[in-house]
Amino acid sequence: MPDFARAQLRRQRFNFALFLGPALVLLAVFFVAPVVIDLVLAFTDMGRTLAVGKLTLENFERMVTRDTRLLGALGITFIFVVTTLGVFNVTFALLLALVTTAVPQRLGAFFRAVWLLPRMSPSVVYALLWLWVVDPNERGLLNQIVVHVFDMPPIDLRNNHPLLVIILANGFIGASLGMLIFTSAIRSIPEHLFHAARVDGAGSLAIVRHVTLPALRWPISYMTIHQSLSLLVSFEYILLITAGGPFYDTTVFSLYAYRRAFESGEYAYGAALSLILVVIGVVAALALWRLMDMQRLLQPPRIEVH
Amino acid sequence: MMNGKIALSAMVAGVLFCTTFTSAAAEEVVIKVWARADRSGPLRAGNLVTAGDTLNKFLTAAGTDKRVKIELNETNAKGYDDDALDLLKAFAVDKGPDIFVLAHEWTGAFAEAGYALNLEDHINKNPELYGDIIGPLWQSVSYKGARYAVPQDSEVRMYFLNNDKLRKLGKTDKEIAALPAKVDAGEFTAYDLCDLAGQAVQKGVVKYGILHRPNAGPDFQMLTESFGLVPYDKEAAKLQASKTALKDFFTWVKYCVDKKALSATNTSMSWDAIEQASFAKEEALAFFHGVWRVTDQTKAWNLKGKDDYQRKITWINAPAGKKGGKPSNLSHPIAYAVSAKSKNKDLAAYIVALASQPIPNMRHSVTTNHTPINYGEQSMPEVVDKGWALVAATPMLKYAGFMPNHPKIGQYNAVIFKGIQGVETGRLTAQAAADFVVDELGNELGKDVVIKN
């Protein structure tokens, strides 16, 4: 091999390591390694002392034969993900994007900033605010309104409608990401399309329906897939606001795995449950990918428009 | 100027030399202590630190350069069960302490895992240091016939009834005073208690009938015991549960919920909120916990001594499940254990011995109202003077049992608690709760539990 070719190869390798290396390391440490560890743990008997005694299928056997709470947790997860996604992370986010791009720019930016505030505050602070909002006593924010404005007895949302509370809490914070993505997508629609539509006599709603929404097809598809996966595995607000309760009412599958692992010290069983979650995540992602025809998004454009 | 600099350098060099020399000569033995930060017993860890100081005085007097340094790690777990799980993890990754404070029923788990040192030999060789410890308390820290910890305190649990609220309900002082004896005689049952508490809520005298702890813990064992649930089969050395007893117990819980004696929000309240409601705000007719709460109550209502206290509060055991039955109580000692992995096992054990002596233990007892571990403490002037509550509560121990020392009793308790939470929050009927507990015990504990009819 000539010297220059060797040098080029070396440089290519160096560049590969320099540019892709950090990302690969992150991917290996935070994505691949946990899945591998989880996979191994799921087939052990690791308990409170973290000692591994044997390799076993017991965890899976238990899941199928003895665990009576498993199906309930799956059901709750389904309701939680579909409702939060359908009502807030996509629909409400879209509404926010449409409204904040329709009003004068500064006002729009101000409202978007307001909606982003919870994202910027630490999760615990956000959860504490929610705990105050739904506090069953008269001092809770919601009850101050219920009692003083509507003259009704205080209500206890956290006990009587816990699923609603966690959907609202996750939805209000989750809508902001979709809002940003949709806003930038709306912004990238060529201005002249709106003018042309106006000239053709389209009203605001018709413009949204025939100009804006078709341009948002891919961002909406992407957000749906991304947020379903994210909602499937995240439980920090649920843990902080209801701790999965009352009883098991808000214990979504990921929190269920967490509770089994860390409340009871059954780490191997928690790992086995997480493994099921990984499988559900992969299946859901593939199904949505197919359903939304995401393949087309990645195809090279047939004509280049300048 | 130059001379000044030289003098300064010489001085710095001198100081450095001295420091190096001293630290090289004095040997410091670090003893790590793991204790849960607990407002109801700061001296559990504090007495170990003091024991270190005492030992250092001996060492100074003996002219040796060795010194003991107690390194205290006070954790912030919600309860002793959570703390034990954290500690097991710490041991698993070799970050365990030399001495740890644990709830007695975890002794078995730590002994089984090989983390708690068998102290039998140490205790037998040192009768001068351990001879005064109240005999039956050793039972609470024994596992498979050997002692793996030293009891640190003991206590009595009870319902605290607010007399002012009882008076508002129309009870006379005479009736109130007769109540504890009626409970002990089996005339006043658990159902009667819920009738009374429910009545208080329905008449608007209080907001809550009975308030109990918001998380899993030992308290509930004395309630289930009143309904005949025996959690441990000594001969088989296995945990056990009876379907009938569970059904009876949860039927009672459901009855109390229907009567509004138990609140749906109890298990989602914070400890602080429960304490506020039970003490300062006086929103509850009964508060269910242990004798050490006398300290908080005395402070909240500024009570002066025994008579003042007894005008305000009445103690009762957990009443029997049905008329003529036996009431129940629970003593739940906290204990010191020495790590079997420690490099300084003997030293750590002697520090535990020093911390368990009558004087330091008495300080913990009288400041936090926990019953003492040594016979001798009972006659100490401080205990007689300030510990009236302990003396007054001692007769209740007649009905007391301990939690079994099975390694998985923590999980067993947590399942019972979830059942109670399910009924209280209206998620489960009595039968469903009993079924839930049976399912979950089988699910979590597998072969460690035997389910009986």
Q: What is the pLDDT of residues B305-346, one digit of tens each?
A: 889 999 999 999 999 999 999 999 998 999 999 999 999 999
- The domain made up of A70-294 has a fold known as MetI-like fold (1.10.3720)
Single-letter amino acid code for the residue at A139: R
**C-alpha to C-alpha distance for A66 and A260, rounded to whole angstroms:** 14
- Segments making up each domain of chain B, as ranges: 2-155+332-401, 157-330+405-452
DSSP string, B296-314: HHHHHHT--HHHHHHHHEE
Does A306 touch chain B if contact means CB atoms closer than 8 Å? no
DSSP string, B140-197: GGEETTEE-SEEEEB--EEEEEEHHHHHHTT--HHHHHHHHHHHHTTSS-HHHHHHHH
> CATH for B2-155+332-401?
3.40.190.10
DSSP string, A244-283: T-STTTT--HHHHHHIIIIIS--HHHHHHHHHHHHHHHHH
Neighbours of B192 (CB within 10 A): 16
Q: Is the pLDDT of residue B441 over 50?
A: yes
* Cβ distance of B439 and A68 shorter than 8 Å: yes
Chain B residues whose CB is inside 8 A of the A268 CB are: none
Mean pLDDT over residues B168-190, rounded? 96
Enter the pTM of the model. 0.83
Return the CATH class of domain B157-330+405-452: alpha beta
Q: What is the pLDDT of residues B294-306, one digit of tens each?
A: 989 999 999 988 8
* Cβ distance of B267 and A245 shorter than 8 Å: yes
Q: Can you list the pairs that B93-97 forms with residues at least 24 positions away whose Cβ atoms lie under 8 Å? A: B93/A50, B94/B341, B96/B34, B96/B339, B96/B341, B97/B32, B97/B33, B97/B34, B97/B73, B97/B339, B97/B342
Nearest-by-Cβ selection for B427 from A242, A249, A266: A249
Chain B residues whose CB is inside 8 A of the A263 CB are: 414
Nearest-by-Cβ selection for B268 from A69, A158, A266: A158
Does B109 touch chain A if contact means CB atoms closer than 8 Å? yes
Q: What pLDDT does B21 receive?
A: 46
In chain B, what are the helix, strand and coil shares in percent, each to the nearest 5? 55, 20, 30
According to DSSP, the β-strands at B157-162 and B284-290 are: antiparallel
Chain A residues whose CB is inside 8 A of the B421 CB are: 245-247
Would you say the C-alpha torsion A268, A271, A275, A277 has a positive or negative sign?
A: positive
Residue B354 in 3-state DSSP? helix
Mean pLDDT over residues B433-438, rounded? 96
Of B4-18, B83-97, B350-364, minimum mean pLDDT range = B4-18
Nearest-by-Cβ selection for B85 from A68, A248, A265: A265
| ipTM for this model | 0.78
Q: What pLDDT does B44 receive?
A: 96
Among chain B residues, CA nearest to A246: B425
Question: Which ranges of chain A have pLDDT less than 70?
Answer: 1, 301-306
* pLDDT tier, B24 (very low <50, low <70, confident <90, very high otherwise): very low
Does A154 touch chain B if contact means CB atoms closer than 8 Å? no
Q: What pLDDT does A305 receive?
A: 58
Q: What pLDDT does A223 receive?
A: 92
**What's the Cα-to-Cα distance from B275 to each of A113, B282, B297, rounded to whole Å?**
40, 9, 9
**C-alpha to C-alpha distance for B155 and A23, rounded to whole angstroms:** 57
Q: Which residue has the higher pLDDT, A299 or B262?
A: B262
Mean of per-residue pLDDT scores for chain B:
91
Q: What is the pLDDT of residues B205-244, one digit of tens each?
A: 999 999 999 988 889 999 999 999 999 988 888 999 999 9
**In contact, B221 and B231? CB cutoff 8 Å:** yes
Q: Is the pLDDT of residue B79 over 60?
A: yes
* Cβ distance of A245 and B268 shorter than 8 Å: yes
Q: What is the pLDDT of residues B401-420, one digit of tens each?
A: 889 888 888 889 999 999 99
Q: What pLDDT does B18 receive?
A: 45
Residues 49-108 on A with a CB inside 8 Å of B are 49-51, 62, 66-69
Chain A residues whose CB is inside 8 A of the B428 CB are: 247
* Cβ distance of A49 and B88 shorter than 8 Å: yes
Q: How many helices and strands in chain A, by DSSP H and E? A: 18, 0
B157-330+405-452 shares the fold of B2-155+332-401:
yes
* Cβ distance of B88 and A68 shorter than 8 Å: no
